[in-house]
Amino acid sequence: MDSTFLLVSFIVLVALVFDFINGFHDAANSVATIVATHVLTPFQAVLWAAFWNFIAAIPLLFFHEAGVAKTVGAGMVDLKLVTEMVVLAGLIGAIFWNLLTWYYGLPSSSSHALIGGYAGAAMAKVALTRGVLSTLEAIVPAGWVSTVIFIFLAPMIGLALGYLLMVLVFWLFRHSSPRRMDRWFRRLQLVSSGLFSYSHGANDAQKTMGIITSVLVAGGFLKTFEVQWWVVLAAHAAIALGTLSGGWRIVHTMGARLTRLKPRGGFCAETAGAIAILFPTYLKVPVSTTHVITGAIAGVGSIQRLKAVRWGLATNILWAWVLTIPMSALVGAFSFLLIYWLTGRI
């Protein structure tokens, strides 16, 4: 069997493993609020989230608009410089950082780990072949500008929407008792959590699609960057299966330690998070669902008083965000150099 086919198949499998870990790591954020408010049990919550993660594939299959996938796969790193080894090393960098932050229970961004690892591996290749001074030639500035803007903007949108929705809810239900409010919002939270899980699948699964498509182009199996239907289904299935596997360390951090939530707060956080993810998805920008839901939960918690949010924990989470791209890029670059040393292939 052709060695290129075997290598590309292996890298596609590694990409789907990353997608599974993404679901394991990130989709826990989808269920954290609904578990913390005791609307669903953990098992019911992951089933619900996984279902909506997978359903998000349907629009892509019918409308063939995978804008986020194109941004990640071909809009941030010069596709002409991408080889199978670049993609493999980038995935190793992303997986390493995801597992490390999962171990410590920190809700860092799988999205930024992926683009960081991918970019780091590509820069290492350019440094090796063209010299260190040419390293930045691997980067497509336009794709990074929008992504970096939304690193800061997306959680702020989530925070602001979470706060405003809580204000609106308290005003609309100002004559209702807290018990009556929670009875309504326990039902409504099923809708909001489903919407958030849908938005998570719609944005995050596309990142893996972009990586898989880029390795298919690098391997010569595709002439142009076009996401195939089987890539869409495989990516959504992998992230949904990852959701089913849990990730309870991060659920505990997001749903209980950051602030205390009631069903009305959970509804507002999930709705704010979904809106703040679907907007950049429409703009074809990859965003961190982790960043967004953290901002939304903080916005909801701060409606009572600022001390309701554990800002010390939020600071630790912020440091994990700041370090994600450079650290995963470093691991991606080191992985590429190690692969080159072992195989002699670039």
Whether 335 and 125 have beta carbons less than 8 Å apart is answered as no
For the stretch 5-28, pLDDT in tens is 999 999 999 999 989 987 877 656
Q: Which of 103-107, 261-265, 329-333 has the lowest mean pLDDT?
A: 103-107
CB 140 within 8 A of CB 75: yes
pLDDT score, position 117: 92
Given a cut of 90, whether residue 209 has pLDDT beyond it is yes
Whole-angstrom CA distances from 38 to 32, 112, 183, 185, 264 are: 10, 31, 12, 12, 12
Asked whether residue 179 carries a pLDDT value surpassing 60, the answer given is yes
pLDDT above 50: residue 255: no
CB count within 10 Å of CB 305 equals 8
Region at 82 (left for phi over 0; alpha for psi -120 to 50; beta for the rest): beta
163 vs 305, more confident: 163
Q: Quick one: tokens of 17? A: 């493993």
Predicted confidence band at 254 (pLDDT cuts at 50, 70, 90)? very low
Which one is predicted more confidently, 109 or 296? 296
Closest-CA residue to 87 (of 335, 326, 325, 284)? 335
Q: What pLDDT is stored for residue 323 in this prediction?
A: 79
How far apart, in whole angstroms, are the C-alpha atoms of residue 267 and residue 282? 22
Considering only residues 27 and 68, tell me which one the structure prediction assigns the higher pLDDT.
Answer: 68
Mean pLDDT value across residues 157-185: 84
Which of 20-24, 179-183, 297-301, 341-345 is least confident? Answer: 179-183
At residue 124, φ and ψ (nearest 5 deg) are -65, -40
Confidence of residue 106 (pLDDT cuts 50, 70, 90): low
Q: Which residue has the higher pLDDT, 342 or 42?
A: 342
Per-residue confidence (pLDDT) for residue 120, from 0 to 100: 93
How many CA atoms lie within 13 Å of 246's alpha carbon, on the beta-carbon side? Answer: 9
Average pLDDT rounded to a whole number, residues 295-319: 65
Nearest to 59 by CA among 158, 193, 188, 205: 205
**What CA–CA distance (Å, rounded) separates 227 from 69?**
8
Tell whether the model's pLDDT for residue 162 goes beyond 60. Answer: yes
Q: What values do phi and psi take at 139, rounded to 5?
A: -95, 140
| Residue 30: predicted pLDDT | 66
Q: What is the pLDDT of residue 277?
A: 92
**Host H or E run for residue 189:** helix 178-218
Q: Determine what percent of the chain is predicted with pLDDT higher than 70.
A: 86
Q: Mean pLDDT for the chain?
A: 83
Residue 321 has pLDDT above 80, yes or no: no
